[in-house]
Structure 1
């Protein structure tokens, strides 16, 4: 390991995601993953002990989410550089992330090249927001604070929900959106969690009420 090597800690509650990120980064000679954590609370101890240069932080995790974890980390380690990696391109999430001191925000589907670029950018003290996130920030109109009508779904999740409501299977949705079956299943679980709905019928009703289907 050289002096220029960027030390990384990855925080995510899905081991398959951690493995995927590690596989992307292990080919980079100037980046080294020195530790992982599976939730925000575990991240506090791991980051405090290992003192990484950059922390790749998921948002939706059990025990303690990534936003709360980032806020706590920044209190004890104000120079910590947190880069959010998430499925959500929702404006509300992005604003919260910026408020607690994260230095970057990008979707998990980002290319390995862009991920490396983001890590190096925040390591140098600059902020990094992926193209999709930037578009979300500047094109979505700002909603009133605590409005009960805020849509918690990302644009991709809305498209998945629309197809679910139309009766398509996960396999058919994956083909229609040109994404993997696993990604569709992840979106479906995230949608149910965000909307606090449990059945396909409830999802279809919500989609109809929101005008996603006619």
Structure 2
């Protein structure tokens, strides 16, 4: 059997943590390797354990899940964060996506769908529960030119170098990061901006004033 999917759960309510652990411990393909009760603890736990998937609450003391997700993704661009929340309004969803989460689930999600979501994002796909998808598609679409820049500082740096014509290998050298990390950043940038070519990325960078 393949190695289980390692999961860290972040929530400030112990009863919620216990409930999620109880749901997942019956799954032989999933192993809960750690927990945290706020965003700051989450960063430390992820740095120590580098789990495959992080289940992250949105509203927590000291640091909320959106800010924690953004910081975790800057340090670990390969991290797969599934956001758990009671909220399904568009504002929360957009903030979560801009922070770099790859999924969004409401806390009342059934055990079967939670397991499905964890497996889905672990395989490199995104997962949004049905009500969240409806919320997104039932709202009017904002033209790309009017959208805020959703990129992290590191992603902006990578985008700037891509737009200037640098290869991933050269970018890795310039930023002192691995080639694989650069490629992950490039994929994340394309996903966040819904752009598919280097020319489109260069135009976005020019429009946002990242390059002259």
Same fold (TM over 0.5): yes
Q: Give me the whole-angstrom Cα distance separating, in 2, the residues matched to 1:125 and 1:34.
A: 20
Matches within 5 A, 1:11-160: 11-141=10-140
Match of residue 196 from structure 2: none
Residue 100 of structure 1 and its aligned partner are, at CA, apart by 1.2
TM-score under structure 1 normalisation?
A: 0.65
Q: Give me the whole-angstrom Cα distance separating, in 1, the residues matched to 2:3 and 2:129.
A: 24
Per-residue CA deviation, residues 172-195 of structure 1 (Å, 9 max, x unaligned), is: xxxxxxxxxxxxxxxxxxxxxxxx
Q: Give me the whole-angstrom Cα distance separating, in 2, the residues matched to 1:126 and 1:63.
A: 30
Q: Give me the whole-angstrom Cα distance separating, in 2, the residues matched to 1:43 and 1:110.
A: 22
Unmatched tracts of structure 1, length 5 or more: 146-214
Match of residue 10 from structure 1: 9
Residue 19 of structure 1 and its aligned partner are, at CA, apart by 0.5
| Cα-Cα RMSD | 1.7
Residue 142 of structure 1 and its aligned partner are, at CA, apart by 5.9
**Is the partner of 1:9 in helix, strand or coil?**
strand
**Is the partner of 2:55 in helix, strand or coil?**
strand
**Is the partner of 1:21 in helix, strand or coil?**
helix
Unmatched tracts of structure 2, length 5 or more: 148-212
Per-residue CA deviation, residues 36-93 of structure 1 (Å, 9 max, x unaligned), is: 0000000000010011000000000000000000000001011000000110001001
Number of equivalenced pairs? 145
